[in-house]
Amino acid sequence: MAPEALEGYVIDVGCVRKNARDDLLEKARTHSRDCAMMGHCVESGYGIVTDDDELTVLDPDATPQVVDVVEDSNTEEGIRLQVQREEERTPPR
């Protein structure tokens, strides 16, 4: 299967859980770099919120890559990322 490209605002799963679903896109647009780098936020993993308000939680293996990008970013809030993911196929039994 071909990789799927997603683009949107990065937000940690901890902040996803503590915000109302109706406010998620706005929270992601204003989510701070400092918050995304807090220890418990890094440990919770990350998601991408697209402009059409869809949330995709990223695989835990993506966390180190997201941390690297966010650390290197000069953007203080509303960090946008583009990620590619492939659907994991389960072999037939």
pLDDT digits (tens, 9 = 90+) for 9-34: 999 999 999 988 899 999 999 999 99
- Sheet-wide strand order for 80-85: 55-57, 46-49, 4-12, 80-85
CA 38 to mean position of chain CA atoms:
14
Kind of pairing, strands 55-57 and 80-85?
Answer: unpaired
Quote the pTM value.
0.85
Residues forming a β-bridge with 48: 10, 56
pLDDT digits (tens, 9 = 90+) for 28-63: 999 999 999 999 999 999 999 999 999 999 999 999
Element (H, E) at 64: helix 63-72
